[in-house]
Structure 1
């Protein structure tokens, strides 16, 4: 037993090591390829253009603290020689605006999405082409704060090649984007495995909940990247998906913990559904009516996340006390979930205290992928062990239903096959076969030769019935064939003729002192009309009649 436990532990650590190695290798490859790209092919340099901007009143603009007025304007004198070869590039958040050169509109950013999507679009890059100037002029940016009580911002305003600026932004978000794509595909594959497992009776609900968590989390993280917003050209729609995904993340997370710990109480799931969908429905109604949108109601999402996080911690503590968790699952859950909770709290504090700095990096996003990786590895190991147990069960079933000497189905397989046939709807043929001279072979040539005769008969029977018939060895020298067609079917005569011909050829080729010989009896079986036992007796009687005729012929 100790050797078996040692082997199991060794297999577990081998799978764990290889899984972690693969995850780490993929992560590092992506990071080195995407995070350290060779840069853009577009030449030139970026020029900081954040100074000398002023309000209408003449006061200098501090881009770290823009006005919170509902509407205002900022302006700057431009140098035609410098600006003619550049584009005006910057990031914006929570503002709509129009850019003018002198009195001409050169760029307008006032999206018109459906009311349900709200107004927030996250952080979005802009590359504004400036018309060729023959002399100096004035740039105006006419700004509308989306949320007057909370100012938006413009960041990293510069003169740059617009293509290079956008490509650089796409490169910066490519790592997260591809990581999300991998996470989503990984979740989709797990979902397929879980659904297939349920179809075959394997109730691994944590696989389905884990796969859902991976897909929803990937959707949330990818909608936070600028790549999806830039490529789709609909930043507000992408941000709407971002808010909905963030609201939904707790549900599969809680379901995973409940499934993994074997918790049978339904009230945590009911409570989670009520709070989550209440937040989503209320946010949608408020956004549609214009009272407040998702961005302003994000505090509700944070409260919901905190409630469900408390539930998850409580379920884990109860499961630990009641010893319902395996050691492996305990390590995975405590590591992944505690890490997610800590980083989530840190990000909520950072978002609340200092919004602009929050945009640079999110610890919670990283912890989400760590959570997916750890639980994914756990599920991979569980699935591989489940597969190994399944293979072992198949081997044991094969041994239970197969005759060790001939490889044909044995008496247990024979009984199961007859039970299925009795519930069938079409005509079957029962063929009882009995080997002649076995006792004589054993007495004169030995039992080893007798076994050779038995194996040969089995091979000839199996090689003659090639239309998906089931072949059985039901006794020492007794065999049985179950065919799913009637005796009037041409296949019956063809198979019997083939069996006789193969036996004749074998005897001619080997010229044994005692020839290979069989007697058989066949009868049709109608499930709705006949009794299995009576039809087997009928086939057996016909076989013995043939055996008696063969004996009389020899005499």
Structure 2
């Protein structure tokens, strides 16, 4: 028989492997077909917007500081904040087809003229609660139908020196075609950030499944850090105007989220054993927190606006990164084992990419994407750390489940699934020490003739009789009462929330259930019981009185059987 069962199991395993091979083959065929179709097919442009966009790059002149020069967009002229910079171009038929122009402005007041007539202005009508930039919006302007041959002038006045004289490409086309540029940028950004946002939400929601405080804090700080950084990237990537026209709110939210990054990141690191005792990392957290509060105060008091405090946030980020390096360098020098290797990998990768962007911020022109490397580092960091944190959390959950299982088994009778003697003694202790003023109902029940059932019908029938007694007790007393198996054939019911009359009715229902069960069994099935209401004498004396009543009941039942 063992050989037969082994053969069937082996056949099942072989069949499972064959199905797996077949499924993999089908998936491979589908993937190859997809690649073949992508490479070998062509089609007309059938996107929802297939109108072209024309970049106006050549033929510009730029006037600033009393001089005029030829320029090709994008460009960045060396001028100062508050100085007027004017870009001029005569629109020609060959420049393209359309009725609108669009470009992105960086912290600049903007006016647009056509043949000297102002057709658009931005920034002068804003109402701001305190000192701040005018924002960095997409500028979209509709031109009159007779635009051909007219002179287009774009006048900018920057709020900051580093953005003065900067002009990105100006796009020409229909409104739908130009707006689609923003939406395409939005889609690219969301493709980067959607997995991060989903992971952040899942990690925070998943944290509620755990009890260990360190794991809960770690998951929540990781999820919150992911959401803050991904939100910052979305806002920084020039896509929010596709959803809201309030560029000032979007711009200031960028800085609010950006300042939170070193605070949350350092606090997240402090949930790990490798960092929790590091004075330097604690300093990094407190410094980042104080720095964030100070930045808000400077902004509210109009002493420094958010853009002017970016270097302070960079300093906080660098201090946190140095803390990572110092902690792990110290462990390497002392030859201590590094427990959080995934943390090391993720942090160092993210640190390198973040430092590259900070370096680019101060060295290269602001036209460069300021968060190019940060996006890459964020994916690596959250991928590694998210997997590590979830893996650790899963291990903890497994251990927690195992611990709870063993704990439950320790207080549960394996035959009847009722609480066992240990659980009963704990309930007695609670009434003895913590609920001395309570007067619960207590009943002691005993299965009659268990030895006789075992001897005449076998222990299996005896076990069935015990199980059935437990089931009938639970059925009769259900809510408001705790049923225990306190011995081989002995049970106890403790009911704190049931009045004596209700308890008596339930005991009578239990008697009827036992009598009905007796009609179904080939042996005599009966249960003796006695119950009392605990008084001032205490729970132990109440138990003894109920036990005596149970024995009195048992004796009466035996006498009745003899008479019968």
Report the TM-score when normalising by structure 1: 0.82
Partner of 1:248: 260
Deviation at 1:119, TM superposition (A): 0.8
Task: Compute the displacement of 1:412 (Å).
Answer: 0.8
Work out whether residues 113 and 237 of structure 1, in 8 Å CA contact, stay in contact via their aligned partners in 2: no
> Is 1:523 aligned to 2:537, yes or no?
no
Choose which of 539, 543, 553 in structure 1 pairs with 2:546.
539
Tell me if the contact between 1:118 and 1:288 (Cα under 8 Å) persists in the aligned partners. no
What is the CA-CA distance between 1:249 and the residue it aligns to?
0.9
Which of 382, 397, 400 pairs up with 1:387?
397
Whole-Å Cα distance in 1 between the matches of residues 461 and 287 of structure 2? 77
In the alignment, is the contact (CA less than 8 A) between 1:261 and 1:319 conserved in 2? no
Could you tell me which of 290, 299, 308 is aligned with 1:296?
308
- The answer to whether structure 1 residue 496 and structure 2 residue 507 are counterparts is yes
Contact 1:40–1:168 under 8 Å retained in 2: no
**Structure-2 separation of matches of 1:265 and 1:361:** 32
Q: Distance in 2 between matches of 1:210 and 1:350?
A: 27
Provide the C-alpha distance between the structure 2 equivalents of 1:361 and 1:44, rounded to a whole number of angstroms: 28
Match of 1:66 among 60, 64, 77: 77
Question: Partners of 1:81 and 1:450 in 2: how far apart?
Answer: 100
Task: Report the CA distance shift for 1:75/1:301 in structure 2 as closer, same or farther (over 3 A).
Answer: same
| Counterpart for residue 326 of structure 2 | 314
For residues 392 and 289 of structure 1, what CA distance do their matches in structure 2 show?
56
Deviation at 1:470, TM superposition (A): 1.9
Show the counterpart of 2:61. 53
What's 1:482 paired with?
494
Pairwise CA distance, 1:258: 2.2
Match of 1:552 in 2: 559
Query: SS of the residue aligned with 2:135?
Result: coil
CA change 1:360–1:165 in 2 (3 A) is: farther
Which of 185, 199, 204 is equivalent to 1:186? 199
CA contact (8 A) 2:131 2:302 kept: no
Secondary structure (helix, strand or coil) at the match of 2:51 reads coil
Range 373-382 or range 390-399, more displaced? 390-399
Equivalent position of 1:458 in the other structure = 470
Specify whether residues 230 and 53 from structure 1 end up closer, same or farther in structure 2 by C-alpha distance, changes over 3 A only. farther
1:261–1:325: 8 Å Cα contact kept in structure 2? no
Q: For residues 371 and 137 of structure 1, do their structure 2 counterparts lie closer, same or farther at Cα, with a shift above 3 Å needed?
A: same
**Residue-by-residue CA offset, 1:445-498 (whole Å, 9 max, x unaligned):** 4444433332332333233322342222111221111223345332x2332222
Alignment CA distance shift 1:419-1:319 (3 Å) = farther
Partner of 1:365: 375
SS in 1 for 2:71: coil
**SS at structure 1 position matched to 2:102:** strand
Q: 1:511 to 1:82 in 2, by over 3 A?
A: closer
Q: Which residue of 2 aligns with 1:43?
A: 51
Aligned residues of 1:50 and 1:157 also touching (Cα < 8 A): no
Which secondary structure does the structure 2 equivalent of 1:226 belong to? coil
Please tell me the root mean square deviation across aligned C-alpha atoms, in Å: 3.1
| Residues 84 and 130, structure 1, Cα contact 8 Å, conserved in 2 | no
Deviation at 1:416, TM superposition (A): 2.1
Are 2:266 and 1:260 aligned? no
Count of aligned pairs between the two proteins: 510
Q: What SS does the aligned partner of 1:105 have? A: strand
Alignment of 1:64-463 (within 5 A): 64-69=75-80, 70-79=83-92, 85-110=98-123, 112=126, 114-116=128-130, 118-119=132-133, 121-122=135-136, 124-133=137-146, 136-148=149-161, 151-194=164-207, 197-198=210-211, 204-265=216-277, 267-268=279-280, 270-287=282-299, 292-319=304-331, 321=334, 323=336, 325-326=338-339, 329-330=340-341, 332-359=342-369, 362-422=372-432, 423-424=434-435, 427-463=439-475
TM-score by length of 2: 0.81
Unaligned runs of 5+ in 1: 1-31
Q: 1:49 to 1:160 in 2, by over 3 A?
A: farther
1:521 is displaced (CA, Å) by 0.9
Aligned-pair distance for 1:286?
4.7
Q: Secondary structure at the match of 2:154?
A: strand
Inter-CA distance 178–525: structure 2 relative to 1 (3 Å threshold): farther
